[in-house]
Every structure is written in C-alpha cells, then in structure tokens.
Amino acid sequence: MAQAKGPERLGESELIKRYFAPLCHPDMSFGLSDDAAFLDLPDDMRLVMTKDMLVADVHFFANDAPDLIARKALRVNLSDLASKGAEPLGYLLGLGLPLDWTEDWLARFCDGLGSDQQAFSFPLIGGDTVKSPERLTLSVTAFGQVPRDKVILRRNAAPGDQIYVTGTIGDSALGLLLRREADRYGALDAEDRHLLLDRFLLPQPRMKYRSLLRRFATAAMDISDGLLGDAAKMSAAAGVALHFNDAAIPLSRAAQNMLSLCGISRDVALTGGDDYELMFCASEQSHDAIMASAAELELDITRVGHVTEGEGVFLLDQTGKELALTNGGSYEHF
Amino acid sequence: MAQAKGPERLGESELIKRYFAPLCHPDMSFGLSDDAAFLDLPDDMRLVMTKDMLVADVHFFANDAPDLIARKALRVNLSDLASKGAEPLGYLLGLGLPLDWTEDWLARFCDGLGSDQQAFSFPLIGGDTVKSPERLTLSVTAFGQVPRDKVILRRNAAPGDQIYVTGTIGDSALGLLLRREADRYGALDAEDRHLLLDRFLLPQPRMKYRSLLRRFATAAMDISDGLLGDAAKMSAAAGVALHFNDAAIPLSRAAQNMLSLCGISRDVALTGGDDYELMFCASEQSHDAIMASAAELELDITRVGHVTEGEGVFLLDQTGKELALTNGGSYEHF
C-alpha cells in the first residue's frame, strides 16, 4: 500500500544499506540483500525461538536514550534465550519508525545494537522496516540453540522441586518509579538511585547461568513481569503450586533502602516487572550440587521456595503462614 | 513497565489460552505455555526465516474485515517463503492490539488465522501480545525449510538470464484504488471490480510454483512493492541490469479494462505494490524446459525480460527503445 511521504529523507533501501547492513551476519543474511535469512543448524542441536515486541511509552520511554532502547530490545530477548539455556545465534529486527525519526536518532540506536551484538555474539540476520506513525515499535525475534536433549520448559516444574532465583528481585520496578518521578524519592542517595535506575534502563541477561541451568534445571523462565506474576504463569503451565518464603527473596541493599526510606510496600518489588533475572526449579537432591556449582562459578543464586501439588502461588512468612499482598495479588500487566 | 488498564477485559494469559493456544502447534510451542518455541530441522534442510510487519492504515485499512487482515498478514509472509522455494513450517505472531480491541474482533481475526493455517499447513508456534495504543500492529515471523543446496537469492541473477513472472501484474495496485475511492471508477463492471479488489484484500501466495523455482530459478523474489520497484532491488542486490519488454508484462483482462475505461496510466500497474506474484530469473537454456514444465503443472508463467551486465531497470518498447515512466520511476514506497 503506497504511502504519502513524510519529510524528505532516506528511502528504505538506503537506510538498510547505511545503517543495518553493517550490523548483519554475512553468511545468514547476505548483506540484507534478500527478504529471507537462512540458518543451518548442527545435527545435534534444536532451534529455540523467542519474540518480544516493545512499544514506546508502553515498554520503554520514547525519550530514553536511543542506544539504551536498542540494547534493552535485544536484552529482553537474550534473557528469554538464557532461561532456556540457549546459546544465542542471531536476531531479526522489525522496526516500526514513527514519522518524526531522525538520522541522528537512528545512528545512535544502531550504535546500541552494534555494541550489544558484539557483547553477546548476537548478529542481526534480517528484518523489516515500516512506518509506525505515532510510536516507535520494535519486534525482535531471537534465535538460539540448545542440545536436543536439553529442553527446559516452564511446564516441567514438579512437586518436590526447589525454586531458585538469580541476582536480586525488584530493582527494576523501583527503577521505574525513579524514572517516572525522580523528585518524589529525594530521600534516596545518588548511588542507590543510579543502581536502581540502571537496572530498569539496561537489563542484564543472565547468560552466564546457562550451563548451570542446562545441568540442573527441571523448569525455568526469566522474570519479566514480576516474580510472583511470572510464578503464576509457571504454576499454570505446570499444574503445580509454587510456595515462596518471603524472607528468602533476595532484595538488593539499594532496593531495601528505597523501600524503607520512601515508605514503599515490599509487594512492589515482588510483583513489579522487568527484573530479567532467572527463576528455575530443580530437584531437592540437586541442592548441594547447585550451591557448590554456583560458588565455584561465582554465580548469585538463592533458594526462595518449593513446589507442591495443587495450583497457585503462595507467599509465606517464616512460620509458613500465607501472606496477603497489599495490591491484591494482581500480577498481570497487559 | 506496568500500564494503566483500558476497559476491563481479558488479561493476556486468558486471551492466549482462549484464542491462540487452539491455533498452536503442540510439538513446537507446548500450548504457548512457554516464552520460547522449539524447532528440530532435518539434517539435509536449511531454515528459511522471513519477517513482515503490517501496520493499520499503512499496510491495510483498520476497518478491513478482521479475518482478511489476519490472512493477509500470513500470506505476505508465505509469499516470501514461496519465492525461496521453501516449505512452510510455522510462524510467530507479534500482536500489538489497539486500546479499542473487542473480543468479537479478535475472534474473527483468529478465525482468519485458523483458516489459512489449515490451507497452508502453517501452524502458530509462538509470539507476543502487547498494547499498541493507536494502531493494530502485526509482526509475523515465518519459518520454512529448503534443501541445503537450494538457496535461491535475489543476488544470483546473472547476465544472460531470462526474467519471468507468475500470474498477472498490477491487479492489486488497481484494487487499492478501488478500495480507496470506489465511486470514482463507476465505469468498471462489478465482476472486474470484485476481482481487482479481492487481489488487494487477499493475496494468493504462489506456493505451487515452488518446485519449478527449486528446479530452474537462479534468483527469485516476490513482488510486494511493485514489479519495477522490486526489480530495482534485485538489480542492486545482484549488480546487474534488468530489461523488461513492456508489451510482454501480463495484465489481467480486469486490469486492462480498468486502465482503459478509467483513463489510468499503465505505469500504475507496473509500479504499484502488493501483487504477491513471483519474479524469477533462469538461464536461457532452461527456457523450453520451464515452459514445458509450466504447461504440464498448469502454472501461469510469462517471460518478461532479460538480464545484462550493468545496473538499473529498463522498460523497453517493442523496438527495444527505453520507455520513460510518467511517475518518474520512483518505485520505493516507504
């Protein structure tokens, strides 16, 4: 469907040639000279695919730094691959550009792509560029590979399994509050503020945990919609109940400071989105080996709960009594 | 990033369970219970991937029938697969829903997906659902497979090759005119009108031409941005010149009627988008075998030009003289 043109600027072919062709993988995408990309998979590997769409002012702020928007779009997809123990192979980029895009903006966006492509060995292999008049809209399809016998799904969580998380929970949800209304949280010092904001703006996909997941995890997913909300998804997929020990859930020092100094409910950390930590389950017999392996590899892993028969997600105090959430336990952000 | 909610309606999990899980491939997507999909590829096959984004009122009209929007989104991707001679395997759907979506609309959209999934053996294997406040935005990533030794690229067009197209050219560009301003073309009869409009609303991916392409094509692409505009892309990718014999380019009877009855330049048909026919090149020695094979398989194939050294796209009259286009030969619609 032909379109009225916006202000005179680069056409699609020139835009691809100038900005995207330099980012692409030569063997899979032929300099982006074709509509299709190609991939050969080793015989013993299985392809893993994941797709995350990001919309301006829904998933990021339209005025965030362009390189950070680009890196976040790649990283949320890398995080999905990490949760499946997958080695990244490359990505397709669907780029919906708003009418007011500029070449300067696009150059900085592509710098972000380039820097993370290199950091994660994750080349561009194809895509599509369209007009998205009101809002920048990104659709990244990421590809990775796992050995054929290592398919780690949410739905394989089993009664008796222990539940683990990587890193700390809730930093990004608090970073989002700071991004929205910095002035409101003046009690927090600059270092804590910077740490939490950075966790929101630039997720750290937990790639280095993949070998441990491949070795021990019965089930895994990344935490992108809040710990307890994502736990509800795993519970539904596996048909089991997930019980979390509230006191065991690891919060960073910065998060603890912000909760106490600014009078914010701990629920915000447990139900807020965008952590991009990993949650996984493993059999109880693996526990000592997991902790030994984590220590050896300098991985930050905490046991936070366990799986039983039943359904739903339960947050327990130290006596095993169920805690209610002040926000009513509505974990879904759609 | 949490969002203010629109009017109370289905959450994402319930929406996936009710509408999308029934469409999904059980072995690749596990009932959409996971963020990732998995694919095993036979050892002698290569994966082909393609991605097309479609934005409301850029690529289709927001008030088109929901099932037709869905089917068009699948078909433009199937058309890309067909042009690579690829067998469809499945697709990921990125669905950006505007704030005013309704369950009735979504049910009809999913009916469209379901009917074409069955027609083309093309199951849903995963995706992502997000808010896209102003406009429905679709991002389809399609997967297919080809034998490892059959990679048909644009850039392999070579001097001496003959150029072929399937079907007829320009019907969809004329259908778009009818979709925009039906009243303006009252001279056209109902049958022609219906045929041209249908070609715009519901492309026919040329899947049945795949075996012929695999056997003979040196280079191929689908025609999605107008014959001459897409030819310019092939010319640039291959570093060759493409020469078209104007009189040989096949127009349907309905298109010819609309051009003559409504006083529309033939250029509209040659440069308009959305044909979703295939253009391919083959060596001159293959010509008789191609035409014999086309007759045997009842395929509609026309030789329309030839490739030489050089660069650019040339439209020639019957004496071989270059014709100018009334629209100045600007083929790019971005």
What is the per-residue pLDDT for B11? 79
Least confident of B9-18, B135-144, B218-227, B244-253: B9-18
Tokens matching residue A173: 């949800």
Segment B139-156 shows an average pLDDT of: 93
Contacts of B92 in chain A (CB under 8 A): 49, 51, 141
| pLDDT of B214 higher than 60 | yes
pLDDT category, A14, cuts 50, 70, 90?
Answer: confident
Sorted by sequence, the CB contacts under 8 Å of residue B259 that are 6+ apart come out as: B174, B251, B265, B266, B268, B269
What is the per-residue pLDDT for B325? 73
What is the per-residue pLDDT for B30? 73
| pLDDT of B6 higher than 80 | no
pLDDT category, B248, cuts 50, 70, 90?
Answer: very high
Q: How many residues does chain A have?
A: 334
Cα of A64 vs its chain's centroid, Å: 18
Contact B53 A139 (CB under 8 A): yes
Contact B1 A333 (CB under 8 A): yes
Higher pLDDT, B6 or A136: A136
Contacts of A130 in chain B (CB under 8 A): 53-55, 58-59
Residues B90, B125: contact at Cβ < 8 Å? yes
| Nearest residue of chain A to residue B52 (CA atoms) | A128
| Nearest residue of chain B to residue A224 (CA atoms) | B1
| Nearest residue of chain B to residue A173 (CA atoms) | B1
Residues within 8 A of B (CB atoms), A 278-307 only: none
Higher pLDDT, A12 or B310: B310
- Nearest by CB to B332, from A1, A11, A80: name it: A11
Each residue's pLDDT tens digit, B12-71: 788 888 899 889 887 777 767 788 899 989 989 999 999 999 999 999 999 999 999 999
Tell me the domains of chain A and their CATH numbers: 12-147 (3.30.1330.10), 154-316 (3.90.650.10)
| pLDDT of B150 higher than 90 | no
What is the per-residue pLDDT for B12? 79
| pLDDT of A75 higher than 80 | yes
d(CA B157, CA B242): 9
| pLDDT of A27 higher than 80 | no
Closest to A222 (Cα-Cα) out of A50, A54, A70, A41: A50
Instruction: Give this prediction's pTM.
Output: 0.91
- Nearest by CB to B141, from A1, A141, A176: name it: A141
Contact B176 A52 (CB under 8 A): no
Contact A34 B133 (CB under 8 A): no
Contact B38 A54 (CB under 8 A): no
Segment A100-123 shows an average pLDDT of: 96
Render B213-272 in DSSP notation, one character per residue.
Answer: HHHH-SEEEEESS-HHHHHHHHHHHHT-EEEEEGGGS---HHHHHHHHHHT--HHHHHH-
B261: exposed, middle or buried (C-beta count within 10 Å: 0-12, 13-18, 19+)?
middle
pLDDT category, A63, cuts 50, 70, 90?
Answer: very high
Q: Is some CB atom of chain B closer than 8 A to the CB atom of A27?
A: no
Q: Is some CB atom of chain A closer than 8 A to the CB atom of B218?
A: no
What is the per-residue pLDDT for B56? 96
Q: Is some CB atom of chain A closer than 8 A to the CB atom of B47?
A: yes
Each residue's pLDDT tens digit, A149-171: 888 999 999 999 999 999 999 99
Residues within 8 A of A (CB atoms), B 239-268 only: none
What is the per-residue pLDDT for A327? 55
What is the per-residue pLDDT for A282? 98
- What ipTM did this prediction achieve? 0.89
Contacts of A92 in chain B (CB under 8 A): 49, 51, 141
Segment B104-124 shows an average pLDDT of: 96
From the CA of A273, how many Å to the nearest CA of chain B?
6
| pLDDT of A289 higher than 60 | yes
| pLDDT of B292 higher than 70 | yes
| Mean pLDDT, chain B, whole residue set | 91
Contacts of B220 in chain A (CB under 8 A): none
What is the per-residue pLDDT for A9? 62
Higher pLDDT, A26 or B102: B102
| Nearest residue of chain A to residue B94 (CA atoms) | A53
| Cα–Cα distances in angstroms (integers) from residue B135 to residues A47, A134, A291, B53, B271, in the given order | 32, 9, 48, 13, 27
| pLDDT of B246 higher than 90 | yes
Contacts of A83 in chain B (CB under 8 A): 35-36
| pLDDT of B3 higher than 90 | no
Contacts of A51 in chain B (CB under 8 A): 92, 94, 126-128, 139, 141
Segment A242-256 shows an average pLDDT of: 97
d(CA A39, CA A45): 12
Phi, psi of B9, rounded to the nearest 5 degrees:
-160, -170
Sorted by sequence, the CB contacts under 8 Å of residue B248 that are 6+ apart come out as: B302, B303, B304, B305
Residues A54, B96: contact at Cβ < 8 Å? no
Segment A236-264 shows an average pLDDT of: 96
From the CA of A30, how many Å to the nearest CA of chain B?
9
| Mean pLDDT, chain A, whole residue set | 91
Contact A43 B43 (CB under 8 A): yes
Closest to A51 (Cα-Cα) out of B29, B294, B325: B29
Bridge-partner residues for A243, per DSSP?
Answer: A306, A314
